[in-house]
Amino acid sequence: MGIVRPRRRSTGVGDPTFSTATVRGFSGAVLATAVATTVAFMGIGVVDPILGLIGQAIGASPSQIELLFTSYIAVMALAMLVAGALATRWGGRKTLLAGLMLVVVCATLSGLSNGIPMLAAARAGWGLGNALFTATALSIMVGSAAGSVARAITLYEAALGLGIAAGPLVGGFLGGIRWQYPFFATALLMAGAAVAAWLTVREPPREARRGLGDVVRALGHRDVLTNALLGLAYSYGFFTIMAYSPLALRLRPLPLGLTFFFWGLLLAFGSVVLANWLRPRAGTTPLLAATLTGLVLEFAGLWLIRSTGWLLVLVVLSGLFCGLGNALFTSLAIEVSPFSRSVSSGSYNFLRWAGAALAPVLSGFLAELFGPHLPFAVSGALLLVATLVLLRIRGRVEAAVERFRRQEEARFQELLGEPAAGSQASLPGASPAARG
């Protein structure tokens, strides 16, 4: 496969569109990891449509039910600090397979649970497995893609979006029969993905060993910390929609699963297609500011409107903004950082998932105390603050993105045997992608 020369205004988000050409030509290792990514992210949303059923079956309050999300995501956030470091010691392949098998075990235990404590503990183990997998999946896909980094990232985003869309559908369909079935189905699918990965994935080149201190020190960098805090606010809003709104909508499992299936489709379209088409035309900061503003308006509507039909429309449409936000924040985590890809991702993901962990349980408590619509107002206010901060640091963000773009162009020229005069690619710390 030839090296793909980046477009002049490309910023590393991926190819402008997703098509069969994005998939064609990839190795079995890349495709197997993509399938595993789909199943892994199915696990996040598979409980969405069955939250109400679980609460009825085991007599749990809204805040107790939301612990199923918070335990999962909180452990995942903490594990992000060490998962990348473990990968540099164990190797990416072993770390990925360990994560997949842990998900199989914990998904099975979730289906066998008979109360909130056991179910929350199983979901926490599931989150640890997902962290080990997520910390290595993208690196393995990029490392096995024979130079087609942009297409590998696009395929990863597509697999992620498909998983988030399919999870609620599987949960709604099987959960309508019995609430345990979605967990067993996820375990079975992940076991198949683990076997495929074991057969096809080879050990990628290892990064230099690093530890927890490297990820923590990265957060001392002003741009890395600022972007991670903005990601925290965004993820809080994202998981207010994904983890809390199913309780506020009060639909049966299948209609709720269909709602979040269409939400997930728009999320995938936003992250894979729309972000790559709009970003070169609108610019990073204006597009991200418009995305966050759109989410603020969405949450204002969810707070004020009482019609179930209109609430459904707002939830589904929010998938488009969430898709844009996912793609932009994921890309910025690499582009504003002077550190390696794994260190940059680890530090960003830690704070990002910390926000995601807070949203479900805090929304559940707020709903119990002040009514079901106040959690949407809190998320909207948090995102409004994030938007104002982003506009204030706009110049810094754009300068970092432009610097990254130039370094990537220089690196590709060197790979093609055309070193650019005055290239910064050989300077220490020049390209996080080159070192990651």
- Rounded Cα distance between 436 and 84, Å, is 11
Q: What is the pLDDT along the chain (436 residues), one digit of tens a residue?
A: 343 333 433 433 344 444 444 555 577 788 888 888 888 888 777 887 887 788 788 777 777 888 777 888 888 888 877 776 777 778 878 888 999 999 999 999 999 988 888 888 998 999 899 888 887 887 788 777 655 666 777 788 788 888 888 888 888 889 888 889 999 999 998 999 899 889 888 776 666 666 677 778 888 888 899 999 999 999 999 999 988 998 888 888 888 889 989 998 999 899 888 988 998 899 889 999 999 999 999 999 999 998 989 999 999 999 999 999 988 998 888 888 888 776 777 788 888 888 988 998 899 899 989 999 999 999 999 999 999 999 999 988 888 888 887 877 777 677 666 554 444 443 333 334 334 4
Contact, 133 vs 40, CB < 8 A?
Answer: yes
Q: Which two tokens stand for residue 42?
A: 């199915």
- Model pLDDT for residues 398-423, shown as the tens digit of each residue: 888 888 878 777 776 776 665 544 44
Which string of DSSP letters, residue by residue, matches 382-402?
Answer: HHHHHHHHHHHTHHHHHHHHH
- CA 293 → CA 90, 196, 359, 388, distances in Å? 42, 42, 19, 10
Q: What is the pLDDT of residue 1?
A: 37
Residues 6 or more apart in contact with residue 228 via CB below 8 angstroms: 219, 333, 347, 348, 350, 351, 352
What's the CA gap between 181 and 65, in Å, rounded? Answer: 18
Complete DSSP assignment for 272-305: IIIHHHHHHHH-HHHHHHHHHHHHHHHHHHHHH-
> Can you give the pLDDT at residue 319?
94
Mean pLDDT of the chain: 82
Ordered by start, the domain boundaries in the chain are 28-201+211-392
Q: Rg of the chain's alpha carbons, rounded to an integer?
A: 21
Question: Cβ distance 245 to 316 under 8 Å?
Answer: no
Query: What residue type is 70 in one-letter code?
Result: T
Residue type, 307: S
SS3 29: helix
CA dihedral (222, 407, 9, 272) in degrees, to 10, reads -70
Q: Quick one: tokens of 187? A: 């375990």
* Geometric angle at alpha carbon 426, from 137 and 213, rounded to 5°: 50
Q: What is the distance between the alpha carbons of residues 183 and 189, in angstroms, rounded to a whole number?
A: 10
In this structure, CATH architecture of domain 28-201+211-392 = Up-down Bundle (1.20)
